[in-house]
Structure 1
Amino acid sequence: MDGHATDTFDVAGLVPGFQPPQPAPAQDDAQLAAADARMRHWREPADGPLVPGSDRHGDATCRMFRDTFNPYRPAVLDWPVLEPAVRDRIVALPIWDIAVQTEGKARLRMAAYAGTLRDPAMRDALALNAWEEQRHKDVLARMVAAYGIDLAPEPVQHPPRDPEWGYLVTGYSECIDSFFAFGLFELARRSGLFPPALVDTFEPVMQEECRHILLFANWAAWHRARLSFLRRVRFEAKVAAVWAFLAWERIGLARAMDADGARAQDNNFTLHGAQSVADDGVGVRDLLALCVAENDRRFAGYDERLLRPRTVPRLARLALRLARLFGRRR
């Protein structure tokens, strides 16, 4: 026994016909390296454009996600022994409660929406995405158990009344959060907060998040291009409402309240987290530049014809250009 409580969440129960990946056999170092390389590099073999909404675009998107699947098993991940000071600092990071809860919501919302899709390939890709979110939650739960991190009680999650809304909220949330997580993870590596062995353990999870938002960006383009005019108008209105909701949430105007009325931890922890993982702190400009660089690096191995999430990287690049412009003027 490893002290890890079994999670009974079942993607196949929400997505009829989905066959979860079979447990991977034990792999040697060469096989692990090959699986990691496959996860990071993929190209559609046929030449020509991948027009959003076309069958070819949808097929390539689903094939990318399937071909880049990494069969690592959370149960055999090696959690290194940490020096007491390093362990205490990691335990004190203000991210673990919301990280575990976010993965729990993501798996449910993705599976609920996947179950509504008629296209079998896209349905299977989104169901696999939900299965991988479940695996991320398993990884985090095992880390929490390994290092004795105390978590707040996890609320019961219910399927969303509007599965498409739930999937859009989750997808765009991941596009925002992953952009900053890429930079924060690299900052933690450079600062030494995450020892090399722990970086290696978490690295597959970080790259999987890159695959997830690559899938989401291409699903969104594929889906909207196939809608009729009126349905497209409704969809774009829903997307705009999702962005408004996420902006409201992240600037702290919407607060989750616990049972005692005290403010629970919200989603706006990026800069707090940055100060926690760097001994000397980090400036906003340096953090944005690192996030942009890490975002570009993680997407570099995938076919350039597949669409990337664009909104947050564009806003970050705009902020950096404005900072340089005003810096020169001063």
Structure 2
Amino acid sequence: MGSLSDIYSRLPESMDDLPAPPNAEAVVEADFRARHWLSPVRGPLKPGSDAHKRALAEMFRDTFNPYKPSVIDWPKLDPETLHRVTSLPIWDIAVQTEGKARLRMAAYANLVTDPDVKDAISRNAWEENRHKEVLSKMVAAYNIPMAPEPPYVEPKDVEWAYLVTGFSECVDSFFAFGMFELAKRSGYFPEALTDTFEPIMQEECRHILLFANWLAWYRAVMPWWRRPFFEAKVWAVWGFLAYERMSLARTVDDSGQVHTQDNNFTVTGTKEVTNIQITLPEFMDLCLEEDDRRFAGYDPRLLRPTTTPAIARVIRDVGRAWEFASGIFKANAKKAA
């Protein structure tokens, strides 16, 4: 694999090497552009067509934000808030996930021959690296104990690794949108922290928008004889992700302390990021609302991820049916008593 600067489409190695914004207006304008994009091409953007392929690449390039997310002067936290931040069981997984995503996407981009798609996935890899830099700086600023990072090894099956990363982001980002909104509404964490991570949330939206459209394009241009094996691989990825999210990850730091990390924190961790009481169906509704809101500014002809929202609707509807049935059961039990 070549140097990172080659892989990342001539973007600098570090986010610190990006040019500083000339003024406050430039930051606001860049943030707006990162959230709104419409292709100038008229007519449908059919997956597999040159118009669709160029649109997905142009969307990702045109919505790139050179100023945010950024490393800030991390605010001093009172002891209670500091404990909330440092005790969240996510930091090892968060940093390592971004590190693996960076490498996997760069490795896959290195195999892609189409220049438009190669550029988009390369930029995606660079943005994953920026997320890791921001998280690493925050972890260091608040002295959050971390297990040593494992070596990031280029995957043997590059396509499998890219699919795992892409589908993982589709699942985790969907639920993270809702959880992040809960944290903002509750004021459970300082506004400076939530403002710092807001553009990361929006970049994740762009990432899964890119992945969904890459997947549709890739399927459309794939030779027919490869399609059955590829679809079997996709199903295997979903099986792997389901298994992974039913387990806890355990790591050990330099002092021998065990760190238990929740692979499914974006679904199960609402009580740890907010003091707002919310039922599971209500949380699913919030995730769906936030998912729609974050995608609303992008060209509606580009495909959106659909599997996780569909699963969320099933969870919501089953949860509401359970609440209704249990309410009737409790009312009958109370009458009988």
> What's the TM-score once normalised by structure 2's chain length?
0.88
Give the whole-Å Cα distance in 2 for the aligned partners of 1:262 and 1:23.
37
Which range is displaced more, 184-193 or 319-328? 319-328
Q: CA deviation at 1:276?
A: 0.5
Relative to structure 1, the CA distance from residue 218 to residue 75 in structure 2 (aligned partners, 3 Å threshold; closer, same or farther) is: closer
Equivalent of residue 124 in structure 1, options 119, 124, 139: 119
Relative to structure 1, the CA distance from residue 162 to residue 30 in structure 2 (aligned partners, 3 Å threshold; closer, same or farther) is: same
Task: Work out whether 1:282 is the aligned partner of 2:275.
Answer: no
Give the whole-Å Cα distance in 2 for the aligned partners of 1:151 and 1:257.
9
Aligned residue identity for 2:204 = E
Relative to structure 1, the CA distance from residue 213 to residue 183 in structure 2 (aligned partners, 3 Å threshold; closer, same or farther) is: same
Give the whole-Å Cα distance in 2 for the aligned partners of 1:257 and 1:199.
27
Q: Deviations over 1:29-86 (max 9, x none)?
A: 2111100000000011122111011111010000000000000266653422323321
Q: Deviations over 1:64-119 (max 9, x none)?
A: 00000000266653422323321221111111111001000000000000000010
Pairing of 1:23-62 with structure 2 (within 5 A): 23-62=18-57
> What's the TM-score once normalised by structure 1's chain length?
0.90
Segments of 5+ residues of structure 1 without an aligned counterpart are: 1-8
Task: Work out whether 1:12 is the aligned partner of 2:5.
Answer: yes
Aligned to 1:267: 263
Aligned to 2:176: 181
Aligned residue identity for 1:11 = L
Q: CA deviation at 1:129?
A: 0.3
Give the whole-Å Cα distance in 2 for the aligned partners of 1:139 and 1:48.
39
Q: Deviations over 1:267-324 (max 9, x none)?
A: 1223442111122553222221111111111111001100011101011112223333
Task: Work out whether 1:305 is the aligned partner of 2:301.
Answer: yes
Give the whole-Å Cα distance in 2 for the aligned partners of 1:220 and 1:47.
22
Name which one, 1 or 2, has greater alpha-carbon Rg: 2
Give the whole-Å Cα distance in 2 for the aligned partners of 1:246 and 1:110.
18
Aligned residue identity for 2:96 = Q
Q: Is contact 1:74–1:138 with CA below 8 Å preserved after alignment?
A: no
Segments of 5+ residues of structure 2 without an aligned counterpart are: 329-337
Relative to structure 1, the CA distance from residue 86 to residue 47 in structure 2 (aligned partners, 3 Å threshold; closer, same or farther) is: same
Aligned to 1:4: none
Q: Is contact 2:104–2:154 with CA below 8 Å preserved after alignment?
A: yes
Q: How many residues align?
A: 319
Relative to structure 1, the CA distance from residue 71 to residue 279 in structure 2 (aligned partners, 3 Å threshold; closer, same or farther) is: same
Give the whole-Å Cα distance in 2 for the aligned partners of 1:74 and 1:142.
12
What is the alpha-carbon root mean square deviation over aligned residues? 2.3
Residue identity over aligned pairs, in percent, reads 55
